[in-house]
Amino acid sequence: MTVLPTCDPPRPPPLAGVRVLDLSRLLPGPLCAQHLCELGATVIKIEDPGAGDYARPAMRQLVNRGKIGLTLNLKCDEGREIFFQLLANADVVLEGFRPGVMQRLGLDYAELSRRRPSLVYCAISGYGQSGARRHAAGHDINYLSRSGVLDMTGEAGGPPVIPGFLISDILGGTLSAATGILAALVEARQTGRGRFIDVSMTDAVMAHNVLPLAEYNESGSVHARGTGSHTGGAARYKTYAARDGRFLAVGAQEKKFWDLLCDALELPELKPLHSPDDAQAPDVERLLRRAFATRDAADWLSVLEPLDCCVTAVRSFEEALRDPDFRSRGTVRAPAADAAMSLGLPFVVSELAPSAPKASPRQGEHTDTVLGELGFGRDTIASLRSRGVI
C-alpha cells in the first residue's frame, strides 16, 4: 500500500481561501461545489427563499455537506445588491440555469466580471451557452442519446440499455466543471483575470468518447451495439453467470490475462483464440459460458483472484459500500452515530486527511450569519426576511 507523506503541523487544504458562490441545484453543480468544499474552499449555497433546491432530502444531504446555507431573492434589487456584496470577496460563481436566465437577472458573466475581474464563472447546462439546442430541456438520458453513447450500450440486437450511473451529470456537470474551474483559478491567481467556463453536459460526454472515434478513424465505421470489443462483442471482455446465478466480469483484454484465464477454466485450446474471427467468436463465448456455469461465483473467485487475470465479481451497490478499501481510502465514509453514509473525493490528496462527514445546511440556515458578516443589523435582517428578500 502506498503511504502518503504527512506534515506536522498539518498543511492547509489546497483550496483554502477560495470562496465559491454556488447557485446550482440538484446534482451536477452541487456535487462539483462540494468537491471544491472538501478541497478547502468556502462554499456558500445560495437558494431562493421559496422552493430553493428541490433535490430530495437524501440527495441534498450527500452533495451539499459543509456548505454555508443562504437564502436570497435574486429577482429583486435588494437581493441582487446583497449578491454583489458577496461577489466582492468571491473567486468562483457556479450556476446551472438554462442559458439566458442569469442575463435576465442582471447577473451574467459580463456584469459580474466587470465588478470582479478575477472572477471564475462556470455555467453548467445540458447543451451549452451556444448552438441551436442551447435552450432545450434535457436529462442524462437525452445527453447520452445525442452523443451516441446510449446507442452503444446494450446487448447485440437488443434495445439501448440505460446505464445505472448518470454519466452526463457526473462526468459533464460535475467533473468537467471542476476541471475548468480549477484551471481558471490557477490563471486568475497569476494574472488577476478570470474566465467564463461554459460546460455542456452533452459536449463533455462527446469529448470523452475516445474509443469509438478511434475505431471510426481507423475503419470509417463503428461496431453495432453490443458487438464492439468493449461493449460486449468480445468473449474476453464480458460478463458470465456462475452456477449460483451471480455474475463475474471478465476483462482479459491482454493476451497474458487471457492465457491465465483459459488455463484456470481448463480450456487451453482457447488460448490462440484471444481475438477470434467472426465465425469462431460464438463458439468461444459458448465454451466460456459453459465453464463458468460449473461452479459458484465464490468458488471461481477463489481460483481466479490469486491469478490476477482481471476477473471480478459483479457486486451490488450494498456490497460495494462494505468494501474495506473504499473505507480505508475515504471513498466511502461510514456513519457516526445516527448520521447517514457519505462519499468522499474521487481521489486522494497527500497531506489532506479525509474530513469527518459534515451535515448539509438547511435552506438558509446561515443567512443571518452571512448577512451579519456583511454588516447588516438584526432589525435590517428581520425586515429583509419579512419582505421576501431573504
Distance of alpha carbon 190 from the chain centroid: 28
C-alpha span between 138 and 135 (Å, rounded): 10
- 158-195 burial: b if 16+ Cβ within 10 Å, else e: eebeeeeebbbbbbbbbbbbbebbbebbeebeeeeebb
C-alpha span between 82 and 64 (Å, rounded): 22
Query: Is-catalytic flag, 169?
Result: yes
The catalytic residue among 139, 244, 296, 323 is 139
C-alpha span between 199 and 125 (Å, rounded): 6
C-alpha span between 38 and 30 (Å, rounded): 12
DSSP for 9-67, please give it: SPPPPTTTT-EEEE---TTHHHHHHHHHHHTT-EEEEEE-SSS---S-HHHHHHHSTTP
Query: Is-catalytic flag, 139?
Result: yes
CA dihedral 84, 98, 27, 199 (to 10 degrees): -90
- What are 198's strand-pairing partners? 123
| Strand intervals (E) in 55-195 | 68-71, 92-95, 120-125
In the chain, DSSP finds a helix count (H) and a strand count (E) of 18, 11
| Burial zone of 337 (CB within 10 Å; 0-12 exposed, 13-18 middle, 19+ buried) | exposed
The catalytic residue among 48, 91, 169, 203 is 169
| Strand duo 120-125 + 42-47: pairing | unpaired
97's grid cell? 440555469
247's grid cell? 455474475
Residue 141 · residue 163 · CB < 8 Å: no
CA dihedral 269, 275, 276, 278 (to 10 degrees): 160
- 152 C-beta neighbours (distance < 10 Å), count: 22
Amino acid residing at 57: P
Active site residues per annotation: 139, 169
